[in-house]
Structure 1
Amino acid sequence: MNILLTGGAGFIGRWVAKKLLEEGHHLWILDDLSNGQESNIAELRDHANLKGFAEGTILDEKLLAELFEEHRFDICYHLGASINVQDSIDDPRTTFNNDTVGTFYILEQCKKYNTKVVFMSTCMVYDRCSNETGIDELHPTKPASPYAGAKIGAENMVLSYYHAYGLPTVVIRPFNTYGPFQKTGGEGGVVAIFIKNALEGKELNIYGEGTQTRDLLYVEDCARFVVDAGFNDAVNGEIVNAGLGRDISVNELALLIAGDASKIKYVEHIHPQSEIQKLLCNSAKAKNLLGWEPRVSLEEGIARTREWIKQGGLA
């Protein structure tokens, strides 16, 4: 199939691109490199099925129109977004434009060519989990940051195009994804940052009390979920979660990675108002509709990520 992947030079996008290319599809990547970087896809650039890489923004309607008119995409995996919670609090306009307005521009092109839309949302749209069965897709949402608010707005637009126009669309909400190619600096994920600091003998900084929990999904499991959602009509018009189904507190995670409680330091939370105290995913719907289940345990995933960072893989 002809496939457009927005945000394909990003962390998750890179793994989605790799899987789509391995499956033999013709792939075009659009990325403005605000979060992603070309080095993420360096090993994919010579792949015979990578038909094009455009450095550009989803806010460029002329560019989108040209890409869609020329290539008539069968599926658009829409991962391109502003993804930093703190940035959205400091500068909500940029996040709203990229995540909500940009998604509208994508939808308009997909409607024109009947291109299926796989929209990457986030677990950050949910209210905290209050039980051990986990957060399913009917769980209440709570836009505790402009990032979450922008994603919820975009989700509703994506689903409206399914109901109003019959356009095949699906909203996917992966939980906290980690693994190789995740940034290890300030905008990176907690696992990558903790591992890098541990390898360098530095302290691991925990915001707040560290009792908040996360459901950590290994990136190759996430990419498989993302790709599968594009090729299964059973999820059209649906919202679908994916997670490990096990949560771990940030305190426990830090100790697992550092192996030494004296290396852990507590610092003031920079955005406590947007913190979700407990995140635990219920992926039953993904299993029922897609036959998807995670394959990589937290311990195995951390070991793979540690090895990648140790080998010099700093994104």
Structure 2
Amino acid sequence: MKVLVTGGAGFIGRWVVKKLLDDNHNVWVLDDLSNGRMANIEEYENKNNYMGFTKGDIRDRKLIKSLFETKFDICFHLGASINVQDSIDDPITTFENDTIGTFYILEECKKHNVKLVFMSTCMVYDRAISNGGITESHATKPASPYAGAKIAAENMVLSYYYAYGLPTVVIRPFNTYGPYQKTGGEGGVVAIFIKNKVEGKKLKIYGSGEQTRDLLYVEDCARFVVDAGYSSKANGEIINAGLGCDISINDLALLIAGDKTKIEHVKHIHPQSEISKLLCNYDKANKLLGWVPHVDLEEGIIRTEEWIKSTNLL
């Protein structure tokens, strides 16, 4: 198939591109490099089915129209502003990228009848209230402009399925981590903790650390994303993916550091947007796609730490 991946030079995007190339599809990448980086995808440049990279903004309608003349079969739309704190400080940029940019992509998908897989987030949910985990029917709570912009985009994506019969699917992966994730402030908690451990620095926990996260290894996430694109059963659906078990940030820090004295608590920078318990129920992904995670947290941390130690790309 001919496949476009927006945000394909980003952390999850580069793994989605890898999976698609390994499955022998022809892949095009669009990214504005505001968060992604060329180093993430440079290894693909010599692959025959890697069709090239376009540096561009999903809000650039002229560029998007030109790109879609390729007549793709599927668009995996991962391009977005992803930082919760940035969305609180600068909501307009997040809204324009995540909601309006998605609308422009939708319009071109409708024009050329291209299936759209829309990358949303578990951050749209209210906290889990039971050990059964969060299902797709769980209450949403836009506790940040990032979550609000994603919910708005989700609704537009599903409206094109119902109004126009366009094959679309909304995916909500839980907290994803692994190799190629940035280790700075915009990175994920696992990558940041491991980087600090490797450098002999203390692991800093915002707030009490009692908040929990369901941590999904990135290759499992990429397989989920791609499977949602391949399956017609996913069309018109919202689908979760996660490990199916959660861990408190305190326990995660101890698991990584191995020493309580290497951990300190600091004042939370955005407590109003914190979700106290995130636990994924992925039964729907299993039923529709046959998807289950393959990499447990301990193995995923080992793989991520090995990568961080082996690279200058941080």
Q: Normalised by the size of structure 2, how large is the TM-score?
A: 0.99
- Tell me how far apart the structure 2 counterparts of residues 47 and 136 of structure 1 sit (CA, whole Å): 38
Q: Partner of 2:114 in structure 1?
A: 115
- Tell me how far apart the structure 2 counterparts of residues 231 and 163 of structure 1 sit (CA, whole Å): 20
Q: Partner of 2:87 in structure 1?
A: 88
Q: Partner of 1:20 in structure 2?
A: 20
SS in 2 for 1:217: strand
Q: Measure how far apart 1:47 and its partner are.
A: 1.1
Q: Measure how far apart 1:313 and its partner are.
A: 4.8
The CA deviation string for residues 76-106 of structure 1, in whole angstroms up to 9 with x for no partner, is 0000000000000000000000000000000
Q: Partner of 1:36 in structure 2?
A: 36
User: Does 2:239 align with 1:237?
Assistant: no
Q: Contact conserved, 1:213 with 1:279, CA < 8 A, in 2?
A: yes
Q: Measure how far apart 1:314 and its partner are.
A: 3.1
Q: Partner of 2:148 in structure 1?
A: 149
Structure 2 unaligned blocks of 5 or more: none
- Tell me how far apart the structure 2 counterparts of residues 147 and 286 of structure 1 sit (CA, whole Å): 24
SS in 2 for 1:53: strand
- Tell me how far apart the structure 1 counterparts of residues 52 and 260 of structure 2 sit (CA, whole Å): 48
Q: How does 1:92-241 map onto structure 2 within 5 Å?
A: 92-241=91-240
Aligned residue identity for 1:161? Y
SS in 2 for 1:197: helix
SS in 2 for 1:3: strand
Q: Which runs of 4+ in 1 moved over 3 A?
A: none
Q: Measure how far apart 1:311 and its partner are.
A: 0.8
Q: Contact conserved, 1:194 with 1:257, CA < 8 A, in 2?
A: yes
Q: Measure how far apart 1:4 and its partner are.
A: 0.5
Aligned residue identity for 2:17? A
- Tell me how far apart the structure 2 counterparts of residues 245 and 37 of structure 1 sit (CA, whole Å): 30
Alignment coverage as a number of residue pairs = 314
SS in 2 for 1:251: helix
Aligned residue identity for 1:123? C
SS in 1 for 2:214: strand
Q: Measure how far apart 1:52 and its partner are.
A: 1.6
- Tell me how far apart the structure 2 counterparts of residues 314 and 306 of structure 1 sit (CA, whole Å): 13
Q: Contact conserved, 1:85 with 1:145, CA < 8 A, in 2?
A: yes
User: Does 2:260 align with 1:261?
Assistant: yes
- Tell me how far apart the structure 1 counterparts of residues 41 and 311 of structure 2 sit (CA, whole Å): 16
Q: Contact conserved, 1:181 with 1:313, CA < 8 A, in 2?
A: no
Q: Partner of 1:60 in structure 2?
A: 60
The CA deviation string for residues 108-131 of structure 1, in whole angstroms up to 9 with x for no partner, is 000001000000000000000010
SS in 2 for 1:4: strand
Q: Partner of 1:292 in structure 2?
A: 291
Q: Measure how far apart 1:285 and its partner are.
A: 0.1
- Tell me how far apart the structure 1 counterparts of residues 75 and 163 of structure 2 sit (CA, whole Å): 19
Q: Measure how far apart 1:235 and its partner are.
A: 0.8
Q: Partner of 1:75 in structure 2?
A: 74
- Tell me how far apart the structure 2 counterparts of residues 51 and 310 of structure 1 sit (CA, whole Å): 31
- Tell me how far apart the structure 2 counterparts of residues 3 and 117 of structure 1 sit (CA, whole Å): 10
- Tell me how far apart the structure 2 counterparts of residues 36 and 46 of structure 1 sit (CA, whole Å): 20
Q: How does 1:295-306 map onto structure 2 within 5 Å?
A: 295-306=294-305
The CA deviation string for residues 210-232 of structure 1, in whole angstroms up to 9 with x for no partner, is 00000000000000000000010
- Tell me how far apart the structure 2 counterparts of residues 136 and 230 of structure 1 sit (CA, whole Å): 20
Aligned identity (percent) is 73
Q: Contact conserved, 1:7 with 1:81, CA < 8 A, in 2?
A: yes
- Tell me how far apart the structure 1 counterparts of residues 22 and 312 of structure 2 sit (CA, whole Å): 22
Q: Partner of 2:2 in structure 1?
A: 2
Q: Contact conserved, 1:184 with 1:314, CA < 8 A, in 2?
A: no
Aligned residue identity for 1:280? L
- Tell me how far apart the structure 2 counterparts of residues 121 and 83 of structure 1 sit (CA, whole Å): 10
- Tell me how far apart the structure 2 counterparts of residues 312 and 11 of structure 1 sit (CA, whole Å): 15
The CA deviation string for residues 140-188 of structure 1, in whole angstroms up to 9 with x for no partner, is 0000000000000000000000000000000000000000000011110
